Amino acid sequence: MDFKDSPEEAQFREQVRAWLQTHAQPKERRDQRFGEGLDEGAYLSAARAWQAKKAAAGYAAIPWPKAMGGLGGTPAMQVVYDQEESNYLVPAHVFEVSLGTALPTVAMWGSDEQKQRYLAPALSGQDIWCQLFSEPAAGSDIGNVRTRAERTASGWLVNGQKVWTSGAHNAAYGILLARSDWDQPKTKGLSMFVVDMKSPGIDVRPIHQASGDKHFNEVFFTNVQLPAEALLGPENQGWKVMMSTLMQERFSLGEHFSGGLYRDLIVLAQQVTCNNRPAIESERVRDGIVDNYLADFGIELIVRRGMSAISKGESPGPEMALVKLVGARAMQTGGTLARELAGAQGLLSADDLGSQWHLPFLLWISAPGARIAGGTDEIQRNTIAERVLGLPGEIRTDRDVPFKDLER
């Protein structure tokens, strides 16, 4: 497989470079981040402004059709843009859920009215979206969703709780998975909805993390009224809609997991000693760096496969679970190696050691969450076994039982 730019991609890369040089500041270091020292409000404003610039130039959603606000380009062109943008100090992560999962779901399953209403404002940075899936009793087994959506004369009445919802405190809208038919089995009585996050009865509460961040939230729904047109996709087909969302999520994670951590590890190993010689000469350190490189390269191959599916108008396949499984483990093992290279000082914060340690340490502390969020390692292994390798599925005694009859 040849990863070199085609003539068209090379021309597009030069175009993107010229635009970025005009509109953004180049990074002085690979680990340098935009907005260090900015409070959340200022960072959010900067992110909205940057997203609006990208949308005006056609870079907000490059592979999307022009009718939906995209550039009508290819997935490979999106990769080219992301590669070039990573060299500049620009706001990151604010629109990850919007562009990575929520909006592709609306684009795939939404009515013409929903697409017209929601896509353009989100692409231009006006609206931020969140994803309302996980619950206290429905994490890895998302089929256990108990948030209730009941039909009313004018639409739907929603009651329940969601947890680990990224960015809900800043979101204008969310895609919500709720149980609409308790007489059907666990995966067949679910429906997906578009929710206005400012609706009466929605209470968003931040979760304070060990890293100091608080971008996850609990979201409570108390007698929330949704109009009939809030239904996203067919009624009671929410499981199918959700699976397409998760495949998009695992695909979009590829660019974060395939981040070249091995390069940082090489630099760090050249700067410190191990047993009175440069750490880069240690067989164990070199093995760790090579393992991280192999994981990075493997992820890139799988992401390219997902890009091929998208270019054909298809959803990325179940092999995207490999991206999540391998990438999260590589984050953890690579970050652990960095802390070992730091020796006793590895117990300190990255700020105490120097900026070159920041990214590996951040990945290390984030890795346990990455191995859980979006489906645990065990869930990814089941997906790979059953849907990629075609192995017999696990015995599931609850598959055909009406959800109302399951033990709670």
C-alpha span between 132 and 109 (Å, rounded): 16
Q: How far apart are CA 204 and CA 166, in angstroms?
A: 11
Residue 1's pLDDT is 46
Assigned token pair, 141: 């087994």
Extract the tokens encoding 153: 């004369």
Percent pLDDT > 90 in the chain is 52
- In one-letter notation, the amino acid at residue 88 is Y
**Domain 129-235 homologous superfamily, CATH:** Butyryl-CoA Dehydrogenase, subunit A, domain 2 (2.40.110.10)
Tens of pLDDT, residue by residue over 238-297, are: 999 998 888 777 666 655 665 688 988 998 899 898 888 999 999 999 999 999 999 988
* CA dihedral over 332, 337, 343, 348, signed as positive or negative: negative
Contact status, residue 114 vs residue 232, Cβ threshold 8 Å: yes
| Dist. CA 72–CA 70, nearest whole Å | 6
Average pLDDT over residues 181-196: 95
pLDDT for position 120: 93
More confident residue, 349 or 199: 199
**Mean pLDDT estimate for the chain:** 88
- pLDDT tens digits for 12-71? 999 999 999 999 999 987 778 888 888 889 999 999 999 999 999 999 989 888 888 889
pLDDT per residue as tens digits for the range 129-150: 999 999 998 887 888 999 999 9
Tell me the pTM: 0.84
Residue 246: predicted pLDDT: 81
Topology (CATH level 3) of domain 258-388? Butyryl-CoA Dehydrogenase, subunit A; domain 3 (1.20.140)
pLDDT digits (tens, 9 = 90+) for 286-332: 999 999 999 988 888 887 787 777 666 676 778 888 888 998 899 89
The domain segmentation of the chain, as residue ranges, is 7-94, 129-235, 258-388
User: Is 214 in contact with 179 (CB distance < 8 Å)?
Assistant: no
Query: What separation in angstroms does the CA of 227 have from each of 156, 195, 238?
Result: 6, 9, 17
